[in-house]
A and B are shown apart, each in its own frame.
Chain A
């Protein structure tokens, strides 16, 4: 049995929850098992997980589980996993998942492979493929006995399962005891997709010269519906908020498209972005190391070329509407 913990925020699933279910159900079909999902706290549409291969959803609808608490979540998932005898427990490698996975694995006496991008089969055994060295290499992991695995957001193609049967939703209430840690407030940007979840990213570096020049970056990002990111010196000097810092010591991302503007492409920067599907580099220095990691390169002054790119995107959008 595969058990997927599908995260929800304010009652709604984000893409990572569907990806985790999709990953769990593809593992389940390779192993000849069933994939069930567990949902904690208030949830609008637990049955929607069926579209990605969950056969049954166990919904623990206690209001104490509406907000993340490492101990309460661990206890709740541990209980369900033990009751159903789960062989693999799948989480999303999100902020919440990272706060939970180690604790859950130890409590279940399970093996633990965090932050995988998928699995392959070696005979009848699954092998989990995990990026290591900040995406500069991959490790193939094998586990014995029950295991807890977390899947990195944006790692797999999210397609709905054809003709999925309607899922059975089991509603329960459980006894929960928490950690005693109190949530005081949330300070989260709204309106844009957070970086770790973004499919399109426009990123800029020291080549921008001054924080007041970021208007052209924001216009391009808006036009594309992309999220903005930056290099480390840019966030270190307070030009941009630190949650935009990508790289080996910032956030590691894997969007479909990464546009790097006025960023030299230092090895520590590349480490966080080289798993992007397509990389576009705009730099006036033909020797900038980033060009070696790029799919498309534009060697020019960014202050001239970025507005032109924004115009081209506008034109393309107008034409395709």
Chain B
């Protein structure tokens, strides 16, 4: 099987959220970056499991600047065979999807994986965009996938449960919790990753139709009102009369 896993770079989950002084972009100074957890924990690992069961190749791809090589090396250490970086600095999911599609369209991948969303922009549009450009079905928020005879049985997370669908390859799938179990790279993997190919390709021109005017932080929260544990009637009264939520 030919499997492609799209990975992106996000600030660490504990990184402070602040912006440059003109509020135009995220302040990257002194921040730690990681591979987007959905891409790493679920998408990549499920692709590796499929390769282990059926043979084939797992390629990981990122559209981004040279500083993203670190997450690609990590993906190789976890077990991917080969990494591609399309050298560019995408400002939107559409740009990123367009760059990946330019590479993927002639490669004949059976399944293209991505995460259900990135933990910084929380957009969940990349996979659908890629699927449309590649003209294949998109199965979003997959929390389980079984595969046999060129056919996948997939659980899609929906409000309050799952829908089970059957899809023939090729398709694009976005990974949610449950699709696989996180794998930690071991020493051997890290050493081998150094010798695996990481190819750099030139990005193409893609027009942007949306832009961020500014970022802002939510207003500071007022201080907490402590309630006497013996007086739950008071809490219920406050929820009803003061904050009007019940």
Interface, chain A (partner B; CB < 8 A): 70-71, 74, 94-96, 98-107, 110-115, 122, 127, 131-145, 147, 179-189, 192-197, 199-200, 224, 242-243, 245, 248-250, 252, 256-257, 267-268, 271, 274, 277-278, 280-281, 291-300, 304-305, 308-309, 311-313, 315-316
Contact = CB atoms under 8 A, between A and B. Distances in A.
Interface residues of B, number: 79
Interface of B, helix, strand, loop or mixed by DSSP: mixed
B128 A138 contact: no
Contacts of A147: 209-210
B148 interface: no
B109 interface: no
A274 B219 CA distance: 12
B38 A281 contact: no
Contacts of A141: 210-213
Contacts of B11: 133
Contacts of B210: 111-113, 141-144, 147
B209 A145 contact: yes
B14 A267 contact: yes
A134 B235 CA distance: 28
A145 B209 CA distance: 7
Interface of B: 11, 13-14, 17, 19, 37-38, 92-94, 97, 116, 119-133, 137-141, 143, 153, 156-168, 171, 177-178, 209-218, 221-222, 224-227, 229-230, 232-233, 235-240, 243, 245-246
Contacts of B167: 179-182
A45 to B, nearest CB: 21
Contact of A105 (B94, B164, B211): B94
Contact of B125 (A102, A181, A196, A297): A102
Nearest to B130: A102
Contacts of A292: 221, 224
Nearest to B98: A106
B141 A95 contact: yes
Contacts of A224: 246
A49 B128 CA distance: 28
B14 to A, nearest CB: 6
A188 B163 CA distance: 8
15 contacts: A70-B131, A70-B137, A99-B140, A112-B129, A133-B120, A133-B122, A134-B122, A139-B121, A139-B215, A181-B139, A186-B161, A188-B159, A188-B160, A193-B160, A242-B178
A110 B132 contact: no
A315 B236 CA distance: 10
Contact of A106 (B129, B211, B225, B237): B129
Nearest to A122: B213
Contacts of B119: 133-134, 248-249, 271
A100 B131 CA distance: 10
Nearest to A113: B210
Contacts of A250: 177
B17 A184 contact: no
Contacts of B213: 122, 127, 140-142
A303 B226 CA distance: 18
A242 B177 contact: yes
Question: Most A CB atoms within 10 A — which of B19, B153, B218?
Answer: B218
A249 B17 contact: no
Contacts of B14: 267-268
B246 A200 contact: yes
A299 B226 contact: yes
